[in-house]
Amino acid sequence: MSSARKPNAGKKGGKKGAKAPRLSPFATTTLVLALIGYFCIVVAWLHLGLPSPDHSIKDHHLQHLWFLIGGGLWGIALARWLARRHEARQPQGAWLFAALLAPMTAMFLMWPSAYPYVEARPFLHASMHLVFVALGALTTFAGYQYTRVVGWLLGGSLAVMAWLAAFFFGVTAKPNPAVTAILDARPAPAPTASVEGQKVFDQICAACHMTTGAGLPGAFPPLAGHLPDLLAASGGRDYVVRVVLNGLQGAISIGGVTYNSVMPPWQQLSDQETADALNYATTAWGNEFPEGAQAFEAGEVAAARGEALSSQQVHDLRGQLGLP
């Protein structure tokens, strides 16, 4: 491998000569180790997912493995970078202690009885992955300070532990009841306000209903605190889609305030944009979908579009909702 050049062990005169600075084989290896570590962490991060039916606990533990390996390689790279070259040193017990403490902490983090607590706190869980990186780095760095071999050995054993957690002690043959309970209790993804929906709303609807959804009493009806009532009425969901597609004309009364004006149709919005805007308005400002309702979808907008109602006919629809 690094057979050819054997720079004189002494480093004096490092700057002499006009040659461009070159990385020594030692520094190159250090850099490569750091880059591989970076790669491991990025890959693990991109695949980050909390346990879910389509992301098994085993896979998740394997991600921990990548975080640990990445962190471990960083620890070694850092130790090498600080040392700049191999040098004999007196092993110091304190470093060994630090190096052993980290794997034990990692062990606790992956202990099955900690799952329920961690699972209930997604932010904590996500942050813990950074702790894995730090623990991996600490283990190898401290081990390396003790002696090089110990650094590599401890890093390796940490990786083996994470691997074992993925296949053995971290997962039980039967689904872990604690985890299953969490997964079962987790509600189906709630319809949420999408960024696209807010864009459409703010560009178009907000001109009248205001960005706060509060409307303008007597002129433009509020959607904040009101849209959920429409959706809760039987037929309300279909009505709302048709208001946006066909407009609305006729007297309506909301919370004792009468509105008798015209909302123009918004045919020019795509099916998806219409659905997005409605999803946004139904989830913004404290609004919520009625229990069990799904988010609006492009398909139902497309179906309603075919009906081409007049804005007065939409007003008739409203009369059938049985609103107060």
CA angle 215, 219, 220 (to 5 degrees): 35
Which position among 81, 156, 266, 313 is part of the footprint of ligand HEC (CB under 6 A)?
Answer: 266
Measure the CA dihedral 163/164/170/175, to 10°.
Answer: 100
- Identify any residues that bridge with 263 across adjacent strands, giving them in sequence order: 248
**Contact residues for 82 (Cβ-Cβ < 8 A; gap 6+):** none
207 scored as a contact of ligand HEC (CB under 6 A): yes
What amino acid is encoded at 167 in this protein? F
Say how far apart CA 294 and CA 279 lie, in whole Å. 10
Which position among 37, 71, 103, 221 is part of the footprint of ligand HEC (CB under 6 A)?
Answer: 221
49 scored as a contact of ligand HEC (CB under 6 A): no
Which position among 107, 210, 252, 298 is part of the footprint of ligand HEC (CB under 6 A)?
Answer: 252
| Shortest spacing between CB 290 and ligand HEC, in angstroms | 15
237 scored as a contact of ligand HEC (CB under 6 A): no
259 scored as a contact of ligand HEC (CB under 6 A): yes
Which position among 263, 284, 301, 304 is part of the footprint of ligand HEC (CB under 6 A)?
Answer: 263
Which position among 230, 284, 301, 317 is part of the footprint of ligand HEC (CB under 6 A)?
Answer: 230
State the binding string over 299-318 for ligand HEC (x if CB under 6 A, else -).
-------------------x
DSSP letters for 66-131: HHHHHHHHHHHHHHHHHH-S-------HHHHHHHHHHHHHHHHHT-GGGHHHHHT-HHHHHHHHHH
Residue closer to ligand HEC by CB (options 99, 227) is 227
**Contact residues for 10 (Cβ-Cβ < 8 A; gap 6+):** none
Residues 275-294 close enough to bind ligand HEC by CB under 6 A: 277-278, 281
Residues 89-108 close enough to bind ligand HEC by CB under 6 A: none
Residue pair 91/147 in contact (Cβ under 8 Å)? The answer is yes
What amino acid is encoded at 102 in this protein? A
Which position among 78, 133, 154, 205 is part of the footprint of ligand HEC (CB under 6 A)?
Answer: 205
What are the distances in angstroms from CA 106 to CA 65, 263, 280? 11, 60, 41
Q: Quick one: which segment of 19-27, 91-99, 173-181, 203-211 binds ligand HEC (CB under 6 A)?
A: 203-211
**How many residues bind to ligand HEC according to rule CB under 6 A?**
29
231 scored as a contact of ligand HEC (CB under 6 A): no
- At 216 the three-state DSSP class reads strand
| Shortest spacing between CB 254 and ligand HEC, in angstroms | 5
Residue pair 165/110 in contact (Cβ under 8 Å)? The answer is yes
- Residue numbers of the site for ligand HEC (CB under 6 A)? 204-205, 207-209, 220-221, 223, 227, 230, 240, 243-244, 248-250, 252, 254, 259-264, 266, 277-278, 281, 318
